[in-house]
Amino acid sequence: MDYSFSFSSQLEQEWEWTERYASQPEILKYANHVADRFDLKRDIQFETQVVSAAFDEAARRWTVRTDRGDVVSARFCIMATGCLSDLQVPPFKGVETFAGARYHTGSWPHEGVDFTGRRVGIIGTGSSAIQSIPIIAEQAAHLYVFQRTPNYSVPARNVPMDPDYQRRWKAQYPQHRQDARESRVGFVIERNDVSALSVSAEERKREYEKRWQRGGLGFAATYLDIQISQEANDTAAAFFREKIHRIVRDPAVAELLTPKTYPLGTKRLCVDTGYYDTFNRDNVTLVDVRSAPIEEITPDGLRTAAGRYTFDSLIFATGFDAMTGALLRIDIRGRGGMSLKDKWTGGPRTYLGLTVAGFPNLFAITGPGSPSVLSNMIVSIEQHVDWIADCMAHLRAQGRTTIEATRESEDAWVDHVNEVGHMTLYPKAASWYTGANVPGKPRVFMPYVGGVGAYRLKCDDVAAKGYEGFRLG
Ligand code: NA7
């Protein structure tokens, strides 16, 4: 109910969700429904990759080129390229030699894959792996899970949608949407505005248990200081350790599955259905590739520093070049032919996560420096879409042709994003939030952690002040 578009009340009322967490086919059906209902497909060119976008200073327009040879001239260029769309496959030696079927969780065949009777290897244990592993394990003859870093995962407690719940939500949709927009993360979760350290150990355990039973991402909001105090965070981590050891029968496997090297929530908290329990199956082997890294992919499997594993299907659940990857794959050039790649060699720099100094009339939807991946993406996407549309209308009404962030406002925003990020525990994890998962990527905490509601107020305030921090031309 929360993870859906809010721009049309008819759409909200007519669409029926069938589960607490809709699965991929249902989300795809929803996306297609939205596109058809609002007749969007006539404006979409599919199967096309944009290869470059260059700002023509004389014409004050963008020239966009595609891999199909299209050349498009446009006043504005809006990058809606996604934060998690540029697949990441680590440069393992021998990857091309693997003779069996290869998959990446981020580009899964739409018709599905049946692993019945197959021996399968999966590299990675992030959200995508954690959601896939229990399903693949039920089919496969054997599943090898190659884990470098264990993750914290909360049960999803997915259930069929309760019709009464859906009816109640629909009756109060405007209020729910308003609450989401003003919230910290773009959806309303029960928050405790007290420190984890201000209550007794018994009370903490009761509260953690309540959230564990309820399921879902709200766990990280159990106490005010879980994301900012290591000591508070340790209490939540200890709760997880106990849970994992209770679920997983083999204590050595349980220990391997227990995160130890980063605070809870500083890598994206995962949500699963039967993940830890899957490691009690006879046909599942957890392989620690932290102590013995993968050395080579071979035609029939892979070799680590400690042993050989043979399988006939290989799944990369190795994530994405997050937040900047899709943008930088396009040759984007602003004033004076400056490339975005050069400008961002030390990490992304934006004003409000929406715009870049030196790149007039270029907007990024949920760009680095905005709440983006730390929020309900749809709420954040809609906020950016509305802000950009209002901005374009304002320029037209004022007879202006360009808008461009000033260097000073960009510098100040980058400093602010850093300052707030470093008030939290997030930078302690080698996560994709900081670019740590991509070899050679600069280590910068990219999303804005100041909160969806506060960020919206800031963006609205900038607009109300006649686009403060921008130069209008
Ligand atoms: P993630 O969360 O980036 O997970 C990728 C996983 O792949 C993670 O466990 C990585 O371990 C692992 N990985 C990456 N490179 C290697 C190498 N070289 N060797 C071994 N293991 C490796 O991607 P997901 O697709 O699961 O989720 C992305 C987001 O989508 C998620 O956060 C949600 O917001 C939705 P590492 O932790 O780096 O040691």
For the Cβ of 61 lying below 6 angstroms from any atom of ligand 1, the answer is no
Nearest CA to ligand 1 atom 27: 127
Nearest CA to ligand 1 atom 36: 149
Distance CA(256)–CA(168), nearest Å, equals 43
pLDDT tens, position by position, 413-438: 999 999 999 999 999 999 999 999 99
Nearest alpha-carbon partner for 375 in 447, 425, 308, 322: 447
Ligand 1 centre to CA of 171 (Å) is 39
For the Cβ of 268 lying below 6 angstroms from any atom of ligand 1, the answer is yes
Task: List own/partner pairs for 222-226 with CB under 8 A and 24 or more apart.
Answer: 222/192, 222/196, 223/192, 223/194, 223/195, 223/196, 224/191, 224/192, 224/193, 224/194, 224/195, 224/196, 225/195, 225/196, 225/197, 226/196, 226/264, 226/265
Question: Which pair of structure tokens corresponds to residue 5?
Answer: 């578009």
> What CA–CA distances, in Å, run from 199 to 196, 210, 419?
6, 15, 29
Nearest CA to ligand 1 atom 32: 268
Per DSSP bridges, beta strands 308-310 and 301-304 are antiparallel
Nearest CA to ligand 1 atom 3: 319
CA-128 nearest atom, ligand 1? 26
Ligand 1 centre to CA of 75 (Å) is 38
Ligand 1 centre to CA of 106 (Å) is 11
For the Cβ of 153 lying below 6 angstroms from any atom of ligand 1, the answer is no
CA-125 nearest atom, ligand 1? 9
For the Cβ of 437 lying below 6 angstroms from any atom of ligand 1, the answer is yes
The one-digit pLDDT tens for each residue of the chain (473 residues) are 999 999 999 999 999 999 999 999 999 999 999 999 999 999 999 999 999 999 999 999 999 999 999 999 999 999 999 999 999 999 999 999 999 999 999 999 988 999 999 999 999 999 999 999 999 999 999 999 999 999 999 999 999 999 999 999 999 999 999 999 999 999 998 888 999 999 999 999 999 999 999 999 889 899 999 999 999 999 999 999 999 999 999 999 999 999 999 999 999 999 999 999 999 999 999 999 999 999 999 999 999 999 999 999 999 999 999 999 999 999 999 999 999 999 999 999 999 999 999 999 999 999 999 999 999 999 999 999 999 999 999 999 999 999 999 999 999 999 999 999 999 999 999 999 999 999 999 999 999 999 999 999 999 999 999 999 999 99
For the Cβ of 131 lying below 6 angstroms from any atom of ligand 1, the answer is no
Residue 136: count of CB within 10 angstroms of its CB: 20
The answer to whether the pTM exceeds 0.85 is yes
Ligand 1 centre to CA of 431 (Å) is 8
pLDDT tens, position by position, 313-355: 999 999 999 999 999 999 999 999 999 999 999 999 999 999 9
pLDDT tens, position by position, 171-210: 999 999 999 999 999 999 888 899 999 999 999 999 999 9
Nearest CA to ligand 1 atom 22: 124
